């Protein structure tokens, strides 16, 4: 306790803050990246004028509340105030659209990764580049705004992601880590610059050439993991900690997206390794050892924080519909006078799924709260469907709900398998894994691949960001990121692995066939 208190007092720490879809979390670590304390703040996106968004006012309210919670926990446990940090890193929901004028004024709603309103622009860019541009990427949002004639476009001086925006406010530096930057605009093979050929092609596209700005000038500078990315300014320290206790001056790491920090926190940054994150959305990151055979709309080509190519399967929907059903059971429980925590409800309901039939008894869920590009769905319509002869039981209901959460991911992963991409391991992390083994086993069955959960990655993305901050401070010149993670962070990896069970996987495949047939119902519900 005394040693930890001294580290906090002397600033021998690194702090990672990640803004996820439903929670902002801060993780403070020591120089060996052992967790000292955490803080958090719950928030939720809003649907405004058909756009999924968060206000920047809520961004800062959430960051300050999260940091205050961390400080309270530090003071309560170690009897120390955080007055200085050794290093700091910001990560956030990847991609999206944040644009500002030359005075720093926000020009348009923050459009998150969840929006599926840029199909026309994404298709046109994909055709022009011969490179798949997903709808959620920043360049797709920009080009759609141009096509729609939005008046703010002519005033753009800077475009960035959520992590890049916060980093700029804290440090004054307009930079972005390679993984997050690769979801703004395609990167060159070196991972440190945007692709010059595609930049030139964008300049010549319909309606682009008339603007005073150049695309290369409004994008942030790209930095690899380990690069210094500025220092916390006096203004930045006051933004983070309005009490005035925190001193400026600590080194800041390149800001990253939650996909990049997830790769770090699961030690899945080498070629032929992969990880899966499951929360509001679900995505798998598969580090490639050779180029894909062909361009596929289901696969996004991005990068690791240190610049290796990654095949990403991203789905907009995963846990949101499960959360909604659990809240319904909680509401009933309260009316019945039951006193249980949310985690206890989750445990009981998810454990019930293990008693369900392998094919979920013929039941069918679609968990699409928002649009889903992998399924060609522009909007969301979550539904539950059964017929008069199905085995309608709680175990089958919960198993169907879990299968539906991973079904869009399975469809994308099947495309990778068709192209001959196989990972040596898939490590999972995310909020749905709060009930040990149950969800992990369902994932193994429906994805038909072994799923590992790493005991050391319980803090997830914000811890991964703290690791990147510490790496930038102490070791970037001495060793590669892979070497640093092996030597300092994961000297002995501890996994629990669930392997697909033959009968359960067969049932999951039957469910997937029913799911694909049910797309007709989903699309009809959206149309009508």
Pairing of strands 451-454, 256-257: unpaired
**CA gap 279, 30 in Å, rounded:** 27
**CA gap 68, 82 in Å, rounded:** 10
**CA gap 377, 39 in Å, rounded:** 36
Q: Where does 266-393 have alpha helices with state H? A: 320-335, 342-353
pLDDT value of residue 476: 65
pLDDT value of residue 458: 53
**CA gap 119, 224 in Å, rounded:** 30
The pair of structure tokens assigned to 413 is: 């992963």
**CA gap 496, 454 in Å, rounded:** 7
23 - beta bridge partners?
42
Average pLDDT over residues 504-515: 97
Q: How far is CA 508 from CA 279, 441, 502, in A?
A: 21, 12, 10
When the pLDDT of each residue in the chain is averaged and rounded to a whole number, the result is: 93
User: Residue 229: which of 162, 170, 306, 159 has the closest Cα?
Assistant: 170
Q: Label residue 508 by pLDDT band (50, 70, 90).
A: very high
pLDDT digits (tens, 9 = 90+) for 325-355: 999 999 999 999 999 999 899 999 999 999 9
Residue 398 has pLDDT above 80, yes or no: yes
Q: How far is CA 234 from CA 164, 240, 245, 249, in A?
A: 18, 10, 11, 8
8 A C-beta contact, residue 269 and residue 261: no
**CA gap 169, 239 in Å, rounded:** 8
Residue 322 has pLDDT above 90, yes or no: yes
Chain CA centroid to CA 336, Å: 37
Average pLDDT over residues 160-165: 98
* Count of CA atoms in the C-beta half-sphere (13 A) of 349: 24
Q: Which DSSP state fits 430?
A: S
8 A C-beta contact, residue 185 and residue 138: yes
8 A C-beta contact, residue 101 and residue 155: yes
The dihedral built from the CA positions of residue 467, 473, 478 and 480, taken in this order, carries a sign that is positive
Average pLDDT over residues 161-179: 98
pLDDT value of residue 151: 95
Residue 118 has pLDDT above 90, yes or no: yes
Place of tokens 């919960």: 398
pLDDT digits (tens, 9 = 90+) for 298-309: 899 999 999 999
pLDDT value of residue 325: 97
pLDDT value of residue 456: 54
Range with the poorest average pLDDT among 122-131, 428-437, 460-469: 428-437
pLDDT digits (tens, 9 = 90+) for 25-79: 999 999 999 999 999 999 988 989 889 899 999 999 999 999 999 999 999 999 9
Residue 235 has pLDDT above 80, yes or no: yes
Q: Which DSSP state fits 273?
A: -
pLDDT value of residue 374: 82
* 3-state secondary structure at position 154: helix
pLDDT value of residue 312: 93
pLDDT digits (tens, 9 = 90+) for 261-290: 999 999 999 998 999 999 888 999 999 988
Q: Label residue 157 by pLDDT band (50, 70, 90).
A: very high
- Going from N- to C-terminal start, the domains of the chain cover 320-409+501-527
8 A C-beta contact, residue 45 and residue 51: no
Top pLDDT among 421 and 72 is at 72
Average pLDDT over residues 472-499: 85
300 - beta bridge partners?
312
The pair of structure tokens assigned to 477 is: 């010149």
pLDDT value of residue 292: 85
Average pLDDT over residues 460-473: 94
DSSP helix, strand, coil percent of the chain (3-state; round to 5): 45, 20, 40
8 A C-beta contact, residue 165 and residue 171: no
**CA gap 200, 208 in Å, rounded:** 11
- Spell 466-492 as b/e; 16+ CB within 10 A means b: bbbbbbbbbbbeeeebbebbeebbbee
Residue 183 has pLDDT above 90, yes or no: yes
Average pLDDT over residues 384-391: 92
């Amino acid at each position: 306790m005394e040693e930890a208190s001294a580290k906090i007092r002397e600033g021998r720490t690194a702090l990672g803050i990640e803004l996820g879809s439903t929670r902002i979390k801060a993780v403070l670590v020591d120089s060996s990246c052992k967790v000292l304390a955490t803080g958090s703040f719950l928030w939720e996106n809003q649907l405004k004028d058909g756009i999924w968004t968060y206000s920047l006012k809520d961004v800062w309210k959430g960051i300050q509340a999260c940091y205050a919670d961390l400080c309270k926990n530090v003071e309560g446990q170690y009897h120390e105030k955080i007055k200085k940090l050794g290093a700091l890193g910001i990560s956030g929901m990847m991609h999206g659209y944040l644009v500002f004028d030359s005075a720093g004024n926000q020009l348009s709603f923050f459009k998150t990764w969840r929006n599926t309103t840029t199909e026309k622009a994404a298709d046109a860019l994909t055709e022009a580049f011969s490179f798949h541009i997903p709808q959620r990427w920043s360049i797709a949002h920009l080009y759609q705004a141009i096509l729609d004639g939005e008046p703010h476009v002519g005033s753009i001086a800077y475009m960035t992601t959520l992590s890049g925006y916060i980093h700029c406010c804290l440090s004054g530096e307009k930079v972005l880590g390679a993984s997050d930057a690769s979801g703004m605009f395609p990167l060159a093979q070196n991972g440190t610059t945007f692709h010059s050929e595609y930049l030139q092609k964008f300049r010549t596209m319909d309606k682009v050439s008339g603007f005073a700005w150049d695309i290369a000038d409004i994008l942030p500078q790209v930095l690899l993991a380990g690069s210094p990315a500025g220092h916390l300014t006096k203004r930045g320290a006051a933004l983070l900690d309005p009490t005035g206790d925190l001193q400026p001056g600590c080194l800041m790491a390149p800001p990253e997206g939650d996909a990049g920090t997830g790769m770090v926190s699961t030690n899945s940054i080498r070629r032929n390794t992969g990880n899966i994150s499951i929360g509001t959305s679900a995505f798998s990151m598969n580090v490639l050892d050779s180029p894909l055979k062909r361009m596929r709309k289901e696969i996004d080509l991005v990068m690791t924080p240190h610049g290796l190519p990654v095949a990403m399967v991203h789905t907009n929907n995963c846990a949101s519909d499960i959360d909604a059903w659990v809240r319904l059971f909680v509401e009933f429980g309260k009316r019945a006078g039951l006193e249980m925590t949310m985690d206890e409800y989750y445990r009981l309901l998810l454990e019930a799924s293990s008693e369900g039939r392998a094919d979920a008894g013929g039941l069918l869920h679609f968990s699409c709260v928002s649009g889903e590009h992998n399924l060609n769905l522009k909007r969301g319509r979550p539904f539950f469907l059964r017929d008069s002869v199905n085995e309608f039981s709680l175990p089958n209901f919960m198993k169907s709900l879990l299968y539906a959460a991973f079904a869009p991911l399975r469809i994308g992963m099947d495309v990778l398998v068709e192209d001959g991409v196989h990972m040596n391991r898939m490590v999972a992390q995310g909020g749905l894994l709060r009930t040990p083994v149950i969800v992990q086993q369902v994932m193994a069955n429906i994805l038909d691949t072994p799923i590992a959960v790493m005991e050391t990655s319980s803090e997830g993305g914000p811890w991964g960001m703290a690791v990147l901050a510490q790496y930038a401070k102490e070791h970037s010149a001495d060793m590669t990121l892979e070497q640093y993670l092996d030597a300092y962070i994961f000297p002995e990896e501890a996994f629990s692995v669930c392997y697909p069970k033959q009968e359960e996987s067969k049932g999951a495949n039957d469910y997937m066939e029913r799911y694909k047939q049910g797309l007709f119902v989903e699309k009809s519900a959206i149309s009508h």
